Each structure stands twice: as C-alpha cells, then as structure tokens.
Amino acid sequence: MKKYLRLGLEILLALLLVAALGLAYWSFSGKKHVVHDLAELNEQLSEANESLEKAMEEAEAAKEKLHEMDALIKRQREFDAIKTAFANGVVLQDIETLYKAQKSLTTERQLGLAGLRLLTKGAEDPETVEAFQKSLEMTDWNSRLATICASQNALAAAGKKVTVLADCNAAKTESAAKGGGHGKKEGGHDGVHWGYQGDEGPEHWGDNFPVCAKGKKQSPLNIVGPFEKSKDALSVAYQDGPLKILNNGHTIQVNVEPGSSLMINKDSYELLQFHFHRPSEEQIDGKNAAMVVHFVHKNKAGKLAVIGVLLNEGKENAAIKTLWDNLPPKEGVEHLPKVKFNPSSLLPSSLTHYAYEGSLTTPPCTEGVNFYILKTAVDVSKIQVTKFPFKMNARPVQNLNGRKISAN
Ligand SMILES: [Zn+2]
C-alpha cells in the first residue's frame, strides 16, 4: 500500500500545482495590475509535469486495482490542455509584456521566462538560449546548481532528452520533505539551504555538496610563507557601468556589464561580478581582515579567476559609500539605482599578490578557481563595516593539502 500512498501524494501535489497555475493565469488575464509570480509557478509546473508523467506510468500499471485512476486520467487531459495554452504562445506574450514594464526582474522570473520560452518556442530558438544565459548571469554562484536543475527540468518537460543531475533530485526531495516551500529567507533555491551558522553552517555543507567536504583544493586559505615565485602578471581594465546591486541572501553582490576585463599573462578574463565577505575569508599569517571583496572573472574556456582585495579598518572608503548608499531595498531582486560605478575604484594601486589554486568559497565549492589575493589592502571605516548587512559570511580557512602558495 505504501507505493499507492506515495503515488497518490505525487498526483495530488501535481494537481495542486496545476490548479494554482490555472488560477494565477486566469486571475492575471482578468486583472493586469496584479503581478503574479508566474515564473515560479512555471518552474513548479515543469517539476509537477515530470512527477505527474512518472506517476501516470505507475498509474497505468496500477489501473486495474484502483478505480480512482479513471478520474486521475481525466485530470491529466486537463493538464495537457493547459500545456497547449502555453504552446500557442499567448501566455509567453502576456508575460513578456508584463515583465517589460518592470524595472528589474528577479532571477527566478528571468529563469521562468526562459522556461516559458522553451516550452513555447523550443530549445533551438536563439532567444530561448539567450534567456537562459541571462538568468545564469544574474544568478549568484551559489544558486547556479538550482538554476541548472530548473533548466534541466524545463528541458525534460519540453520533451528533450536530458539527464537531470542526481544533485537536482536530491534537492527536490529535500524541498518536498520541507513541505515544498521555497525558502527565500534561508537564501536557498529549490530547498538547497546553506548558511554560515548552526545546522546550515560550513561544517554541514558537505551533506548536500560533497565537494565542500571532500575537495582537496578548497578555498579560502591561511596565507603563510614560504612562497614560490608567482608566474602570473595581472592587469585590469574595468569600466564605468550602471550599478546593478543584489542582496542574494548570502552577500551583497554587484553584477557587472560585459566590457570590464582582467588579463592574466596573455589570457583575457571578463569581470562578472564582485561581492563581499565579513570578516575576510582569507587570513594572512592567521589574521583575518575586517572584510574582503572578491572580483569574479571568467575566460572564454569557462575558467574562473578571483581577485581578492582585503579591507582593513581605517578611513572611510568612497567607493563603498556609493555602494552602501544604494543597498537593495529587497532581498533577491537586482536593484538598479541609476548610478554609475567603476569597479576599479575598489582596487589598490598595486596588483602584487599571493596566488593559489582553490575553489568557490560557497556551495557547491567547485574547484579549479585561481585566486589572487592582493598584498595591498584598502581602507574601510568601522561604521561602513557595521553597515554591511551580513554580520558573518566567511567560510573558515581550509587545508592546504600540499598546495603551494606563490607570490610576486
Ligand atoms: Zn567570495
């Protein structure tokens, strides 16, 4: 009987989501001023569709034993009708018009839009790819797994042959166990919760993100000599651009428009975003700085490089004043305060550095990230440190495991 109970629950969940989606769309077409979170529902639809399809397969087998199945099959036909409404493009048009009128989109909405495009126009449509790309760019490192999962689920729902990552299924199971709620406050997406304290703290990251616990080249590090000679010459060309600032639940992150670059020897890296940790994650001779800013870059091959600038307590920092004066009013929404900002205003004059091979310092702790921690720190005032909305968002230093730190 256990099997039927699970089956029943899955179908119930799927039908509830479909009902919610139908209701939201009906309500939206009637009253345009009401902004519905259709993107999220669309994401749920993809998931629901997947579990419904699986459930229906099992239902076929169980049909003879369960009379109720007839009613469920009728419901599936209704579900198919809603899918058709998506496929004819009316929903996509409506949502695109609605979102265009908004000043900024949340990552979830951008992702939902991409999913909707996919269901409507297919995966080959260049604008579908672009929409997914945009949502990936908007996502902070930590939510990328969730974004990838949602994209894969959407592809699967659209009938594409994709293997959904095992990590995605684990995340979904956890989400279902917690009542299916999207825990925005905890900063997670799809139930992948992590933080810096208690049950969600760094010592538990490995439960959901194995690399965090098992990786041998993890960041941050305590930087102590002796050092090898760094072979890397750095030069930056960051540009003025519109300030796009986000509180992603784990840090304050500034997303950067294309055009700001870092040269490492002859290899060009694009600056994607920069964000802050309090205190600094890296230690120099066992000591943390008050804060650190991490500039995250990516080259054409997808390799990541991070420049870390330590912030010591001292004079007020004008660049940080601009950022803190424009902190986002809401978590999870990119804030666009019509202010120009040049990321190089946060850099010291010299780029001499310590260099090592490391990882993302947040889940999923992916390795293969080159770190350059600048030797010259910049000032930040004590008041500015306390104005940073996160009291503690630094991962503890990790084992060196035989790695060599170099310096120039
Ligand atoms: Zn960081």
Q: Is residue 66 part of a domain?
A: no
The H or E element that residue 245 is part of is: strand 244-247
| Degrees to nearest 5, angle at CA 161 with 156 and 90 | 45
Beta-carbon neighbours within 5 Å of ion ligand 1: 294
Q: Answer yes or no: is pLDDT of 311 > 80.
A: yes
Q: Is residue 51 part of a domain?
A: no
277: left (phi over 0), alpha (psi -120 to 50) or beta: beta
Pick the most confident of 23-27, 97-101, 170-174, 200-204.
200-204
Q: Is residue 170 part of a domain?
A: no
Tokens at 291, concatenated? 């804060």
Query: What does the alpha-carbon distance between residue 290 and residue 277 come to, in Å, rounded to a whole number?
Result: 9
Query: pLDDT value at position 59?
Result: 65
Does the annotation count 67 as an active-site position? no
Amino acid 143 reads: S
Q: Answer yes or no: is pLDDT of 242 > 50.
A: yes
Residue 175 pLDDT class (50, 70, 90 cuts): very low
Q: Considering just the CA atoms, what is the radius of gyration of the chain in Å?
A: 24
Residue 273 pLDDT class (50, 70, 90 cuts): very high
Number of Cβ within a 10 Å radius of residue 250: 21
255: left (phi over 0), alpha (psi -120 to 50) or beta: beta
Query: What does the alpha-carbon distance between residue 408 and residue 397 come to, in Å, rounded to a whole number?
Result: 22
DSSP letter at 204 equals G
Query: pLDDT value at position 100?
Result: 75
β-bridge pairing 267-277 and 261-264 = antiparallel
**Ligand 1 geometric centre to CA of 131 (Å):** 26
**Ligand 1 geometric centre to CA of 94 (Å):** 38
Q: Are 365 and 215 in contact (CB under 8 A)?
A: yes
> Coil, helix or strand for 395?
coil
**Ligand 1 geometric centre to CA of 362 (Å):** 7
> Coil, helix or strand for 327?
coil
Q: Are 102 and 92 in contact (CB under 8 A)?
A: no
Q: Is residue 103 part of a domain?
A: no
In the set 250, 275, 294, 335, the catalytic residue is 250
Q: Is residue 318 part of a domain?
A: yes
* Gap between the terminal Cα atoms of the chain: 68
Q: Is residue 369 part of a domain?
A: yes
Q: Residue 119 class from Cβ within 10 Å (0-12 exposed, 13-18 middle, 19+ buried)?
A: buried
**Ligand 1 geometric centre to CA of 331 (Å):** 18
Unique residue bearing structure tokens 């959901």? 208
Q: Are 112 and 39 in contact (CB under 8 A)?
A: yes
Angstrom CA distances, 267 to 191, 201, 274, 363, stand at 38, 36, 20, 27
Q: Is residue 92 part of a domain?
A: no
Q: Answer yes or no: is pLDDT of 172 > 50.
A: no
Angle between helices 90-100 and 107-121 (to 10 degrees): 150
Unique residue bearing structure tokens 């010592």? 203
Check which CATH number belongs to the domain holding 225 and give it.
Answer: 3.10.200.10
Within 13 Å of residue 80, how many CA atoms lie on the same side as its CB? 8
**How many domains are there within the chain?**
1
Query: pLDDT value at position 92?
Result: 77
Q: Answer yes or no: is pLDDT of 355 > 60.
A: yes
Give mean pLDDT, residues 170-198. Answer: 52
Q: What proportion of the chain, given as a percentage, has pLDDT over 90?
A: 52
Q: Are 353 and 259 in contact (CB under 8 A)?
A: no
Phi first, then psi: give them for residue 165, nearest 5 degrees: -55, 140
319-346: per-residue pLDDT in tens? 999 999 999 999 999 999 999 999 999 9
Query: pLDDT value at position 179?
Result: 37
Q: Answer yes or no: is pLDDT of 271 > 50.
A: yes
Number of Cβ within a 10 Å radius of residue 107: 24
DSSP letter at 346 equals G
β-bridge pairing 367-374 and 304-313 = parallel
Q: Is residue 370 part of a domain?
A: yes
Query: pLDDT value at position 185?
Result: 37
Query: pLDDT value at position 38?
Result: 54
Residue 234 pLDDT class (50, 70, 90 cuts): very high
Tokens at 50, concatenated? 């997947």
**Ligand 1 geometric centre to CA of 294 (Å):** 5
Q: Residue 20 class from Cβ within 10 Å (0-12 exposed, 13-18 middle, 19+ buried)?
A: middle
Range of the domain at 285: 213-407
